[in-house]
């Protein structure tokens, strides 16, 4: 016994179904993109703060080893190098620049207003 199947109909998505899928994808993107941007900004800020902390540690070790006191400031060539306290000069992930500052004053980033501070 054979069962007859309709051969004239095609199976396809309707315009309404496609529009619903596009709307759902748009809604998910509207939720995800701001969260992604916030997470990226937060990660960049934390990386900058870590770099500032590394500079501070290197500056204090330099001061102890060289017998320096508050107010003495190391140069970049005294801190950064393959055989020195930091292998290479740290770079702010958002394009800011670091100021080492004298011992007793914390290192700063030019993007300090964006939360890049110790």
In a domain, residue 48? The reply is yes
- How does pLDDT run across 18-57, given as a tens digit for each residue? 999 999 999 999 999 999 999 999 999 999 999 999 999 9
Say how many C-beta atoms besides its own lie within 10 A of residue 73's C-beta.
Answer: 16
Structural domain boundaries, residue 66: 15-114
Per-residue pLDDT, 6: 60
In a domain, residue 1? The reply is no
In a domain, residue 4? The reply is no
**Long-range contacts: 73-81, Cβ < 8 Å, 24+?**
73/100, 73/101, 73/102, 73/103, 74/100, 76/100, 79/55
Say how many C-beta atoms besides its own lie within 10 A of residue 84's C-beta.
Answer: 16
State the pLDDT confidence band at 71, using cuts at 50, 70 and 90: very high
In a domain, residue 10? The reply is no
The DSSP symbol for 90 reads -
Q: Residue 85's domain is classified under what CATH number?
A: 3.30.1300.80
In a domain, residue 8? The reply is no
Q: Is 0.85 topped by the overall pTM?
A: no
d(CA 38, CA 43): 9
In a domain, residue 99? The reply is yes
In a domain, residue 92? The reply is yes
Asked whether residue 94 carries a pLDDT value surpassing 80, the answer given is yes
Domain count of the fold of the chain:
1
The whole-chain average pLDDT of the chain stands at 90
Per-residue pLDDT, 55: 95
In a domain, residue 81? The reply is yes
State the pLDDT confidence band at 3, using cuts at 50, 70 and 90: low
């Amino acid at each position: 016994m054979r069962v007859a199947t309709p051969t004239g109909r095609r199976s396809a998505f309707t315009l309404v179904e496609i529009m619903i899928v596009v709307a759902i994808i748009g809604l998910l993107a509207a939720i995800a993109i701001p969260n992604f941007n916030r997470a990226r900004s937060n990660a960049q800020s934390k990386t900058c703060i870590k770099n500032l902390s590394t500079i501070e540690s290197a500056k204090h070790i330099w001061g102890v080893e060289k017998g320096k006191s508050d107010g003495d400031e190391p140069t970049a060539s005294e801190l950064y190098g393959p055989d020195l306290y930091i292998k290479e000069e740290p770079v702010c992930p958002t394009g800011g620049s670091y100021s080492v500052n004298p011992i007793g004053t914390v290192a700063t980033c030019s993007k300090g207003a964006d939360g890049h501070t110790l």
